[in-house]
Structure 1
Amino acid sequence: MHTHPAAAQVWRFQNQKAPVEPLLRRIGTDRIQLLSSGGSDWLNGSGCATKVEGGYRVSGDKIFASGAPSADLFMTTAVEQTPEGPTVLQFGLPVKSEGVTILDTWDTLGMRGTASQTVKLTNVFVADAAVSVRRPAGKWHPSMHLVSMVAFPLIYAVYTGIAESARNIAVEAAKKRSDPSTAEQVGEMDTELAAARIALDSMVAYSETAQPGPETTDVIFKRRTLVARSAIKTVELAMGVTGGAGYFRSTGLERLFRDIQGARFHPLTEPPQRRFAGRMALGLPIDG
């Protein structure tokens, strides 16, 4: 689900000849795991970066860091206050760096297996050379368009898979029922799942040949919204098809129902997605 930090580096290597081959070799050979705080930081970044000799001292709490307990390299941000205004620094640092602590905060409704703990940074040193991007806080930057393009097909493939699992459980339960309305309920559920799959397939196909930028981001996030809506609806309908049996944990639907709710919360959530799409359609600046 959160393999996109590596996917972004692969895209940069293949399409921009970026000098990231050593990192990719470490991922492939040494099996290091990249960790990201991208969704919680997003355009604004978070944390505080203070300039010191040779780099920065960084502090901040990074929530929703999926896979934190097993990660090796943390791809994150901090905000430096500069004369030009708040500036987001993007950098990577080893998870075992002095001042990095993983807090056991992931006590959630669903998606518990992602271990999306909070990573606390306390006066961590980040060398100047580790800073890969400097960008104005709150503004769209090419790096964020790239993340949007490569990350969300991967993330929402997981939610589509959850919907598929719920559908399969419900169909097996429905085969044991004699209610004549069951076939219609199953058909409605399958239609919603088809909508989620079509939107996901479209998102994947588009991202394979697109270039990162506002137009691509618009396409990706429209489809992200469509996948989320239909995947959530599919699982809700699966609960209805299954009936009271779906209320029991033993059916497996209870966990899927909780997990699918996570599809609501990744950026861009629906209100900012609609604003982005509307501004694109009207020819307005996307940073408005």
Structure 2
Amino acid sequence: MEMNMLVATEEKTPEYWYGIADRIAAKIGETAAAHDREGSFVAENYDLLREAGLIGAAVPVELGGDGMDHATLCGVVRRIGRGCGSTALAFSMHCHQVAVAAWRWQHMQAPTDGLLRGVAAENLVLVSSGGSDWLQGAGTATKVEGGFRIDARKVFSSGCQAGSLLMTSAVYDDPDAGATVLHFAVPFSAEGVTILDTWDTMGMRGTGSHDVELKAVFVADAAVSGRRPQGKWHPLFHIISMIAFPLIYSAYLGVAEGAYDAALEAARKKPANAGLVALTGEMQNAVWTAETALAAMIATAATAQPGPETTSRVMTGRTVAGRAAIRTVELALEVGGGGAFYRKSPIERAFRDIQGARFHPLQEPAQLELAGRLALGLDIDG
């Protein structure tokens, strides 16, 4: 079914969106292997997301979107991940930028309405550089008349080839406050913005997570949306942690579930034996653990207030869900047998894609430090 054949008058319940996501997953699953083999960006899959109304679906209704809630958005990303992990992961980066902006507008009356209206009306695709910047920020902001000159190289800019705005930051040596991270959006069409062809990786090869170079890019004073001390936890990052990581790890759970399904299909064609049954049971435990950890992350985002304790709970879920998703696919490789070792197998691709779950902040050592410092009543900034 073509996405533009969906009935526009159907009530947009979670089931409506999940039905769309399942159809997209089936369609993009047909080309996922080719994108992986070629290392090519999943550009046509973004066309499907646009046609289905998913780019602006999480924008509040008052601002022109469909008001899709966070849990449903996570479910959409998860379902897309079953068909193509690269599409799900790149899309999750756009989704979390939209969801964070919507949360801030709804709960803090933050002036993000212009950005959100643009996403809904113009299908603007937001590209995050946050994972590569995190608390430290990266790049240099130099004060000039009316604004700042930005010089930076932003790695892991997933979806940049479809991007409208790069949501990023740079470090300004403020004469009064010291090292200060400035947050701002830069249009990909702006002078001095260049996508560098750097993305050649083990897995998630279709995300197009190239480096983006900012060379003498001008950002007006009025375009700076936030300032914070470099390297310190800031309230904005507690909001990002709460909202973004359930979405990102929904993509990885989708990859794990796709491998799980493929492994069961292969195993059911074999004679049952005790070893195969035990491996399948262990795989079931692993995917259950990932599902349960992700559900706890989503529930936390729905009910908690952003802050250190909430961030620690979500990041604990990130570690547990990531570990369990990786283990699910490891076991799927064994349950699927020798056929899963071939490059043509979706399990082999999932095995490489799932490794990306290791690299998003907070990576496990930093997550354990945060959890430990909170438990001991220590300052989380060290």
Residue 283 of structure 1 pairs with residue 377 of structure 2: yes
1:22 to 105, 111, 114: 114
1:67-106 alignment to 2 at 5 Å? 67-83=159-175, 84-106=177-199
Deviation at 1:251, TM superposition (A): 2.2
Structure 2 partner of 1:131:
224
Q: Distance in 1 between matches of 2:254 and 2:322?
A: 12
Residue in structure 2 matched with residue 107 of structure 1 by the alignment: 200
Aligned: 1:147 with 2:147: no
Percent identity of the aligned residues?
Answer: 55
Q: What is the CA distance between 1:212 and its match in structure 2? A: 1.2
Q: Deviations over 1:55-88 (max 9, x none)?
A: 0001010000010011011110100112332110
1:198-244 C-alpha deviation (Å, 9 max, x unpaired): 00011001101221111110010000000000000000000011111
Give the TM-score of the pair, scaled to structure 1: 0.98
Structure 2 counterpart of 1:262: 356
Tell me the secondary structure at the aligned position of residue 29 of structure 1: helix
What do residues 122-158 of structure 1 show as CA deviations (whole Å, max 9, x unaligned)? 0100000111111111000111111111110000001
**Distance of 2:203 and 2:216 partners within structure 1:** 32
Question: As a proportion of its length, which structure holds more strand?
Answer: 1
Gaps of 5+ in 2: 1-91
Q: State the alpha-carbon separation in 2 of the partners of residues 73 and 250 from structure 1.
A: 35
Alignment-derived partner of residue 58 in structure 2: none
1:218 to 312, 315, 319: 312
Q: Hey, what does 1:207 align to over in structure 2?
A: 301
> Aligned with 1:119: secondary structure?
strand
Q: CA RMSD in A?
A: 0.9
What does the per-residue CA deviation read over 1:151-177, in whole Å, with 9 as the maximum and x for residues that have no partner?
100000010011101110110111111
2:124 equivalent in structure 1:
32
Number of matched residues? 288
Please give the alpha-carbon distance, in whole angstroms, between the structure 1 residues aligned to 2:303 and 2:272: 47
Give 1:179 deviation, angstroms: 4.2
Cα distance in structure 1, aligned partners of 2:221 and 2:194: 22
Q: Deviations over 1:178-207 (max 9, x none)?
A: 141211111110110000000001100110
Match of 1:177 in 2: 270
Instruction: Quote the Cα distance in structure 2 between the aligned partners of 1:89 and 1:60.
Output: 13
Task: Map 1:183-198; keep pairs closer than 5 Å.
Answer: 183-198=277-292
Moved more, 172-181 or 191-200: 172-181
Name the counterpart of 2:48. Answer: none
Deviation at 1:18, TM superposition (A): 1.6
User: What whole-Å deviation, never above 9, does each CA across 1:26-80 have from its counterpart, x for those lacking one?
Assistant: 1011101111100000000000000011100010100000100110111101001
User: For residue 324 of structure 2, what is the aligned residue in structure 1?
Assistant: 230
Instruction: Find the partner of 2:146 among 36, 54, 57.
Output: 54
The letter for the 2-side match of 1:35 is V
Q: Residue 44 of structure 1 corresponds to which residue in structure 2?
A: 136
Tell me the distance in 2 between the aligned counterparts of 1:50 and 1:283. 38
Q: Secondary structure at the match of 2:143?
A: strand
Which residue of the partner structure matches residue 10 of structure 1? 102
Q: What residue identity is the alignment partner of 1:193? A: V
1:240 maps to 334
Out of 171-180 and 94-103, give the one that drifted further.
Answer: 171-180
Amino acid at match of 1:103: L
CA distance in 2, matches of 1:122, 1:32: 23
Distance 2:117 2:184 in 1: 19
Secondary structure in structure 1 of the residue aligned to 2:199: coil
Q: TM-score, normalised by structure 2?
A: 0.74
